[in-house]
Structure 1
Amino acid sequence: MNRPYFFYGTLRHLPLLEAVLGHEVVATPAWLADHALYWVKDRSFPILIEEPGTRAEGILVTACSESDVARMDFFEGGFGFSGRVMEVMRHDGAVEALVFHPEACAHHCERGGVWMFEQWQQQFGAEFVAMAKDYLAQFGLKPPRAVAARFEQILARGASRVRAGQAAATTLRHHAASGDVTVAALREPYARFFAMEEIDVSFRRFDGSMSPQVTRAGFIACDAVTVLPYDPLRDRVLVVDQFRAGPYLRGDPQPWQIEAIAGRIDPGEGPEAAARREAVEEAGLALTDLLPVASYYPTPGCSAEYLYSFVALTDLPDAVAGVFGVEGEAEDIRGHLISFDRLMALVGSGEISNAPTILTAFWLAQNRERLRGG
C-alpha cells in the first residue's frame, strides 16, 4: 500500500523537500495530535515529542514513488529516523500516514526550547536547501550514517553556498553565464571535518569555445572569519599564537603562528556573529564595534575557503592576555598584547606569515590615524 507521508520538521519546508526528492511536490496542511516539536539542543533541527493536548503542524504528501522513498530514507535514516505509521489529522478527517520518527534521537538527544517553524525557516531554511544538493550527491555512493556523521560540515558548506550567491559585481572579469562550466564527474576521495573534491570539468574559453575536459581538485573548507582586536587609545592589538598543521606539513620548523582571531562560521550564523563568538572562545573578549577589512578567497586555485576579515575597536588592558580555546576542540591558544609598531615589525620580519593577518595589519596601517582620531 502506497501510504502518504507526513512531514513536521525541516522537510515541512517545501523547497527543502523538493531538493531532497529532486522534483516539485504537491502538499496539503495536516497535523499530528498530542505531539509537540522541540529543538534538539545546540542543533539545527527539531525532535518530535509525545505531549497530550498539543499538536505538531506539518504537511501531507500523498504521491511518493519508490525513488522518493529511497531518497527520503537516505536523508533521514542516517540520524536514526525511521518511518512509522501514525494517525494524522487534516481538515476533512484522519488518515494513516508514514511519519519519520526519531527512534535513536529520542534516547540520546537533549531537548531544547519549543521549535518554531517560521524561526527555523528564517535562520536555516536557505542553508538547508543549499545543503541538500551536497548531501544527496552521496545518495547511492555512501551509507546514510557516514554522510549524516558529516551533517554539520555539509550544512556549513550549504551556508557558504548561500553567501556565495551574493557574489560581487563583474566589471572586469569574465561574467559567467549558464553553460559556461560543465561538470562531467564529481568525486569525494576524502571527507572528515574538511573534504577534498575532484571534478572532471570544462569551462568557457576567452575565444568562446569550451576547454577540453580537465581534472581539478579542491580543498573544501567552509566560510570563516578573522578579527584583529585594536585598542586605538593604547595603540595596540591582541594577536593569538597557536600550532597550525599547514606550516608543519610544509616542513616549517616553526609551525606555531601569530594570527588574528579566526574560526569557521557556523550554520545559522553570520560573519559578524561568528567573529564575536570566536573572540570569546579564543581570547575571552566581548566585542562590539566591528569594521570590515575585506572578504576574499585566500587560495582560489586549490581551496573553496572564503574569509571575512574584521578589525574590532575594543578596550585592551593588560589583563586580557592569557591562554584560551575550546577544550573539546583541542584548542590551546595564547593571546599576546603588542603595540601597533611591533605588529608591523613582525609583518616586516616574516614572523607573521599568514595572509589574513598581514592583510588586516596593512588595512590597520592605512586607517590607524583616522581610528585614533575618532
Structure 2
Amino acid sequence: MDLFVYGTLRSQKLMAAVAGGTVRCAVPAELSGYGVFPVDGNVVPFIAPQSGATAQGLVYEDLDDQQIARLDLYEGAFGYRVATVDVATAAGPRTVQCYLPPDGAAPGVGAWSLDVWEADHLAPAVLAATELFSYDPLPSFAAARGMWPMIEARAWSKHRAKAAPATRRFVPEPADFQITGARTPQGRFFRFESVDVRHRKFTGGQSDVLVREGFIGTDAAVVLPYDPVRDKVLLVEQARLGPRLRHDANPWMLEPVAGIVDARETPQAAALRECKEEAGVVVTRLEEAGAFYVSPGASTDYFYTYVGLCDLPQTEAYLGGLDDEAEDLRLHPMAFDDALALADSGEIATGPALFLLYWILRHKARLQGAA
C-alpha cells in the first residue's frame, strides 16, 4: 500500500516507531483541497476539506501487511479510517491511501506546524508508540484507546526525567547500567515489566545478568493544602487497594491531595488542578517541597510534592472528588498540631503525608511570616 501522511507521521522517527522499522521510501506530495489544522494547541494535526488549501505531506511506498496492521491500530483506535485520495508529486499525480478523521470531528483554528510539534512532542510520541507496540498480543482498537492516556502519561514521565545532582554518588556513563533483555509487559492501566539488567559494580567490572521486575507508573503531583493564617491542613481520606492487598484491616488512608501528571501537563498545573477537583480548594501559591522516587528498587513512580497555601475556613469534614473518575473522598480540615498527633499515633500511615507535615513543621515560621 502507498500511504499519504500529512501530520506527525511525516516525522521519520515516529513513522519508524509506528511501522516497526525504517520505511523504505518517502516521496514529497501535496493533497489539494485540504488543510491541516491544530487540535488542542499544536498537539494533534487534523486534516479537513478547505477550498483553495493544499496539505503538504509524504507518500510512504509499498507498505507491507504488518506495517499496515500497525498503522491501522495507531490510527484506527481513534476512529481514523483509510480513504483513497489523489495527490500530486514531482513525478506526476498518484492515487494513494490516507487516514482521514472520523465524521463529525472538528478542526482547530490556525495552521499546524510539524517543526513546532517535533520540538516539543516528538520524543514522547516515539516513547508512547514504542510502548503501544510492545504488547503481545497487541490490544484491540477499543483497548488501545482506553490505554492511551496512561501510555502517554508514562511516555511524558520518561521524557521529563532528568538526573538530579551527583556530588557524592556515582556519575555513570550510559554503558554502566544496561537492560539486556525484556519480557512482554503486562497490565492495561498500570504496567509491569520483567527485564534482565547488568550494572557497574563499586569494586569495578560488571555484575552478572540479573532478573529484575518493576512497576511502571507515572509522575504524580502531591499537594498538602495549608492555611498559614489558621495553621490548618487538609487531608484526603479514601479507600486504597495497596493496604487491602497487604491484608491491612483498614484500607482507608489519610493522604495529601494527589494525582497523575497528564501528558503535556506541568507538575505545577497538575497540582493546582487536583486541588480543585479533589478538594474544591483554590491554591494561591505552591511551595515546592521536593521531588523524588517513591520506591526506586521496584517502581518508576516519581512524586513532585508541594505545600499549597490557601484559605481553609471549613471546620467539618466534607465530601469531594469527581464522580466520573469514581473518586469517593472525604476531606478533613484540621489544626496542624492535630495532624501531627495523627502522624505520631500512626493513623497517618502514608509517606507523602508524613513528609509534607514535617516539611511544614520545618518551614512554618517562614510560611506564617509571609501570610
Does 2:195 align with 1:199? yes
What RMSD over aligned residues (CA atoms) do the two structures have, in Å? 3.0
**1:126-168 CA deviation, whole Å, 9 max, x = no partner?**
3212222222323x6424534444111111110001111x221
Instruction: Provide the secondary structure at the position in 2 that maps to 1:368.
Output: helix
- Which residue type is aligned with residue 20 of structure 1? V
- Which residue type is aligned with residue 96 of structure 1? T
What is the match of residue 161 of structure 1? 158
**1:21-74 CA deviation, whole Å, 9 max, x = no partner?**
43488756544333345667899645444x341646342144455365454344
Does 2:132 align with 1:135? yes
Mapped to 2, the partners of 1:274 and 1:54 lie a distance apart of: 41
Q: Count how many residue pairs are aligned between Structure 1 and Structure 2.
A: 365
Does 2:76 align with 1:81? no
Structure 1 residue 282, shift from structure 2 partner: 0.3
**1:283-312 CA deviation, whole Å, 9 max, x = no partner?**
112223111101111111121111100011
- Which residue type is aligned with residue 99 of structure 1? C
Mapped to 1, the partners of 2:78 and 2:201 lie a distance apart of: 44
Structure 1 residue 230, shift from structure 2 partner: 0.9
Mapped to 1, the partners of 2:302 and 2:291 lie a distance apart of: 7
Unaligned 5+ segments in structure 2 are none
**1:114-133 CA deviation, whole Å, 9 max, x = no partner?**
37534655664432122222
Structure 1 residue 319, shift from structure 2 partner: 7.2
Residue in structure 2 matching 1:126, options 123, 127, 135: 123
- Which residue type is aligned with residue 109 of structure 2? V
Does 2:255 align with 1:259? yes
**1:220-269 CA deviation, whole Å, 9 max, x = no partner?**
21110100111111111111111111111111112111111000011110
Unaligned 5+ segments in structure 1 are none
Mapped to 2, the partners of 1:148 and 1:305 lie a distance apart of: 23
Structure 1 residue 343, shift from structure 2 partner: 1.5
Residue in structure 2 matching 1:106, options 94, 103, 107: 103
Structure 1, 38-47 or 252-261: larger mean CA deviation: 38-47
Structure 1, 32-41 or 51-60: larger mean CA deviation: 32-41
Mapped to 2, the partners of 1:367 and 1:273 lie a distance apart of: 23
- Give me the identity figure in percent: 37
Does 2:217 align with 1:221? yes
Structure 1, 313-322 or 202-211: larger mean CA deviation: 313-322
Mapped to 1, the partners of 2:252 and 2:77 lie a distance apart of: 38
8 Å CA contact 1:25–1:61 kept in 2: the answer is no
Does 2:322 align with 1:326? yes
8 Å CA contact 2:235–2:254 kept in 1: the answer is yes
8 Å CA contact 1:12–1:58 kept in 2: the answer is no
TM value normalised by structure 1: 0.86
What is the match of residue 6 of structure 1? 4
Mapped to 2, the partners of 1:228 and 1:46 lie a distance apart of: 38
Instruction: Provide the secondary structure at the position in 1 that maps to 2:243.
Output: helix
What is the match of residue 343 of structure 1? 339
Instruction: Provide the secondary structure at the position in 2 that maps to 1:348.
Output: helix
What is the match of residue 112 of structure 2? 117
Instruction: Provide the secondary structure at the position in 2 that maps to 1:346.
Output: helix
8 Å CA contact 2:134–2:184 kept in 1: the answer is no
Mapped to 1, the partners of 2:107 and 2:82 lie a distance apart of: 23
- Cα gap change, 1:222 to 1:209, in 2 (>3 Å): same
Instruction: Provide the secondary structure at the position in 2 that maps to 1:158.
Output: helix
Structure 1, 171-180 or 256-265: larger mean CA deviation: 171-180
Instruction: Provide the secondary structure at the position in 1 that maps to 2:235.
Output: strand
Instruction: Provide the secondary structure at the position in 2 that maps to 1:281.
Output: helix
What is the match of residue 281 of structure 1? 277
Mapped to 1, the partners of 2:246 and 2:43 lie a distance apart of: 37
What is the match of residue 34 of structure 1? 33
- Cα gap change, 1:114 to 1:90, in 2 (>3 Å): farther
Instruction: Provide the secondary structure at the position in 2 that maps to 1:359.
Output: helix
Mapped to 2, the partners of 1:56 and 1:220 lie a distance apart of: 42
- Cα gap change, 1:158 to 1:58, in 2 (>3 Å): farther
**1:78-134 CA deviation, whole Å, 9 max, x = no partner?**
4443433212346886433321224xx436xx5463375346556644321222222
8 Å CA contact 2:181–2:197 kept in 1: the answer is yes
Mapped to 2, the partners of 1:54 and 1:152 lie a distance apart of: 36
- Which residue type is aligned with residue 238 of structure 1? L
Residue in structure 2 matching 1:271, options 258, 267, 284: 267
